[in-house]
A and B are shown apart, each in its own frame.
Chain A
């Protein structure tokens, strides 16, 4: 182990000398308070270290010790249902040790080493095992069964295997490999900046169902896909990310609060344990890992937080689960990179961001995907990254670099947010590239004309935008009745379908079938009205029909699917009358 001395301190960046032998990205303990840091540059015998904690009071001359291994996260049963900081220290334990405020030099492990887990073996002595194979199972929470896998670098014959209560430190199996006997524990360490291996990436063809109409119906993301939500402040990024974390149909959810607000994290902490999974009836927190590195927590740990999160996601993917990871917000992560880069006095690229910004973003997002694991099971990681462009200007580097990688673009829009149209996703500028890949799924699972209905909806909305330009110039009166009807129907699509209330008991989650029936109802009204126009009815009169109010309330109707036929009948009767 290499021990050196501090020669310079400037905020979170510390330079140490006499560090020959230390490796790039090794974890180091800095100063007498043993602050945690990571080597990010080596020059002769000097190492430049980013420190994950506040460096106030640290002096030149204090010792620096390299731990000889890169920044790693402890993996094993007991990860779920907890909240960690950016370097995977459980915040609850930090509170117990250090009190209500985060002080320095707190050293706590990610996992509880004393807790006993009921380990059920899946192999027998004498079996030959390959990397990634399931050695045994532990019921981690009531929702998730934790599969203990053979580490990626080990294969051979099982010599012995345990059964029953074990801690993560106990040897649960001994595997005879060609390099001798290896003791396996349920705990593994994995360097966060290195992707965990898999066999093969698959093309995504299953949607991630989110229960949000504008996402599922209009701009769906595939399991294993990457979506970006850029938007100015106040446009509802965080609420959207929360809704996705709550309702998406992934097995495991990793939520990273990266450089965001403390009060929001405490809100998540209070709310998530109370939310119930609609499928299993169990608390959603049982499938969730929260990572919170708020904006005022050390900036280097913020930089690490997204890697910590995705490593955990890969760990569960390897078990064969569909994992979704929400990062709120990746701009804060990019800013952390910029801040550290500036302290290193690196040559800046665009807007002061380091030149490697886009390659780092790409590396991170490439860790998403639907794959065949080492053990031949299938798993996926979907990444949904919020982006906070300064001033809402989408031409800035973080948004642009993200858009080059992500396949789905959910554009949040300030004017929509100002008129309280939530989710404030602009239907004209947003897009998804999974449309074609997912069409067979929707047409098979929901309705055979699903994609046609969707295309028609889109056309109506586009037509509305064109007509609105004309109205801006000459007023609405000059339009012919059938175009006025398009405006009326589009308004209905926007208000009665696209708008969704994340805080309403019924409306917060909308099933695919209900989504389909809702839009069909609106289009049915359009069709019936179109016929009535031919007989000389005016759109003004149609817009005032009592049934319009019912259409407006269908989103709040818990049993809407049963009520659809009667509503259609009412539409027909009223329009014809």
Chain B
């Protein structure tokens, strides 16, 4: 049922109004041929009896109202998927750009997918060891979770994402396949990831979709959906465990705002459309596990908070959908602490499912809870000290201050190549707690204090700045 028209009546921003059309379906795919014979892709945004509004993915430059031909395909946007996509690089519309052969699709899937029935969902509870203490111990990632990185311009979120992709593994099981979608990032950033995957020899386990900064904005709307459709195929049909990295969601939201503005829609907060929450949820909610199926989709989207503002609509709506967030801190970054994950506003909502006896270790929950409380108090004291000076602090407060400094120096800070096991991370945590008197450890069950906490042998002060001490022998305390 292919129909072709030349009756464009209006072009505005990324939108075309085509008149005199008949039987156009909502959301169907449109091919546009410009005067010069250039092919563009579009989608129906509004279908009426004699008119259709079309959103053009590659921009409307060069489209005229006389000679441009619009062909309605009668099909919705589909992606041909195959296992062969692993190791390949595609552009933001899903065409290969690595000079490799065309993909022979095993299946054609609607890129919008369908919502997973909550009844069919399986609870994510397999602990993923990322080798990063602040994540594994404090904000544990589990298989099937969506946990974004809230970053800021100039912070090392790409390094962190690459490190997670490289090190992530479920204990005793295979590592992950990675689907990587870039929306509006620079060629340089894309190359960083490409080189990282190549360097670590994992490229054949990676599918890359690249919509770069100079590619059409509007294409960014489809890129994450292509990536997730691929991920769903690999996970639910091929039984793989897929880690999806989406970067940068801020660019995605801006593309959404651009289309909304071009459609003259009523803007919501800061000009973003009122349906942005729903739209984002159709991306983020595609993470998960399904009962009775092998694979899983874990999402780590990256977004840069404009002006580091966590209340900006993009991080705000994201945080309301995702199961927590890792927040990167400029302060920590300035102190030369990598990864600059600030644990206080960070959160993993599914952490409790993935930790404890049989998964990580029995004391994990209590320990991380205590570290949190201690670090939070230490930070309060740090603020107080700025006002009243160190001398007027009580002794216990000074201890907390020292605890906080050491927490950042020894626990948060680690190398880009450093892959700590969960036991190593927990041990550092207990070492730090030795600073505090036992009465302060209200959040830890007595039996764990007896087992893991020995007040003797307090940790050494770091001898020079920048020193990290990964305890190579985790069996320091006699009980373990």
Given the complex, which residues of A lie within 8 Å of B376, measured CB to CB?
418-420
State in angstroms the CA–CA spacing of A263 and B274 once bound together.
24
State in angstroms the CA–CA spacing of A238 and B323 once bound together.
11
Which residues of A, 47-77, contact B by the 8 Å Cβ criterion? 54-61
State in angstroms the CA–CA spacing of A471 and B445 once bound together.
32
Residue of B25, B265, B323 near A261 (CB, 8 A) is B323
Whether A294 contacts B274 by the Cβ 8 Å rule is no
Nearest-Cβ distance from residue A57 to partner chain B, whole angstroms: 5
Whether B26 contacts A58 by the Cβ 8 Å rule is yes
Does A266 sit within 8 A of B, measured CB to CB?
yes
Taking each of A58, A101, A299, A414, which has the highest tally of chain B beta carbons within 10 Å of its own beta carbon? A101
Whether A296 contacts B282 by the Cβ 8 Å rule is yes
Residue of B122, B281, B369, B439 near A549 (CB, 8 A) is B439
Which residue on chain A has the smallest CB distance to residue B291?
A100
State in angstroms the CA–CA spacing of A418 and B27 once bound together.
43
User: What's the tally of chain A residues with a CB closer than 8 Å to chain B?
Assistant: 81
Q: Give per-residue flags for B302-338: 1 if the beta carbon is below 8 A from chain A beta carbons, else 0.
A: 0000000011110011011101110000000000000
Nearest-Cβ distance from residue B180 to partner chain A, whole angstroms: 22
Which residues of A, 418-436, contact B by the 8 Å Cβ criterion? 418-420
State in angstroms the CA–CA spacing of A386 and B416 once bound together.
40
Nearest-Cβ distance from residue B149 to partner chain A, whole angstroms: 15
Given the complex, which residues of A lie within 8 Å of B311, measured CB to CB?
232, 390-393
Nearest-Cβ distance from residue A271 to partner chain B, whole angstroms: 8
Given the interface pairs A332-B277, A352-B274, the reply to whether A342 lies near B265 with Cβ below 8 Å is yes
Given the complex, which residues of A lie within 8 Å of B274, measured CB to CB?
335, 338-339, 342, 352
Given the complex, which residues of B lie within 8 Å of A419, measured CB to CB?
344, 372-373, 376-377, 380
Whether A263 contacts B124 by the Cβ 8 Å rule is yes
Whether B144 contacts A263 by the Cβ 8 Å rule is yes
Whether B350 contacts A56 by the Cβ 8 Å rule is no
Given the complex, which residues of B lie within 8 Å of A420, measured CB to CB?
369, 372-373, 376, 443
Whether A83 contacts B352 by the Cβ 8 Å rule is no
Does A103 sit within 8 A of B, measured CB to CB?
yes
Whether A262 contacts B121 by the Cβ 8 Å rule is yes
Nearest-Cβ distance from residue B294 to partner chain A, whole angstroms: 13
Given the complex, which residues of A lie within 8 Å of B445, measured CB to CB?
556
Does B49 sit within 8 A of A, measured CB to CB?
yes
Residue of A11, A263, A391 near B350 (CB, 8 A) is A263
Does B145 sit within 8 A of A, measured CB to CB?
yes
Given the interface pairs A295-B277, A339-B278, A351-B269, the reply to whether A10 lies near B46 with Cβ below 8 Å is yes
Does B103 sit within 8 A of A, measured CB to CB?
no
State in angstroms the CA–CA spacing of A549 and B124 once bound together.
36
Which residues of B, 352-389, contact A by the 8 Å Cβ criterion? 352-353, 365, 369, 372-373, 376-377, 380, 384, 387-389
Interface stretch of the complex, out of B61-69, B107-115, B238-246: B107-115
Nearest-Cβ distance from residue B245 to partner chain A, whole angstroms: 19
State in angstroms the CA–CA spacing of A192 and B165 once bound together.
48
Residue of B117, B124, B387, B388 near A95 (CB, 8 A) is B117
Residue of B123, B319, B443 near A267 (CB, 8 A) is B123
Given the interface pairs A100-B293, A267-B353, A297-B115, the reply to whether A475 lies near B122 with Cβ below 8 Å is no
Whether A263 contacts B288 by the Cβ 8 Å rule is yes
Nearest-Cβ distance from residue B16 to partner chain A, whole angstroms: 16
Given the complex, which residues of A lie within 8 Å of B8, measured CB to CB?
none
Which residue on chain A has the smallest CB distance to residue B124?
A263
Residue of A9, A101, A232, A393 near B26 (CB, 8 A) is A9
Does A477 sit within 8 A of B, measured CB to CB?
yes
Given the interface pairs A57-B27, A269-B118, A295-B321, the reply to whether A261 lies near B285 with Cβ below 8 Å is yes
Given the interface pairs A234-B347, A351-B268, the reply to whether A475 lies near B388 with Cβ below 8 Å is yes
A residues bordering B, Cβ < 8 Å? 7-11, 54-61, 83, 91-92, 94-95, 98-103, 232-234, 238, 257, 259, 261-267, 269-270, 292, 294-297, 299, 332, 335-336, 338-339, 342, 348, 351-352, 388, 390-393, 414, 418-420, 471-477, 495-496, 503, 540, 544, 546, 548-549, 552-553, 556
User: What are 6 A-to-B residue pairs whose CB atoms are below 8 Å?
Assistant: A7-B48, A263-B144, A351-B268, A352-B267, A390-B311, A540-B394
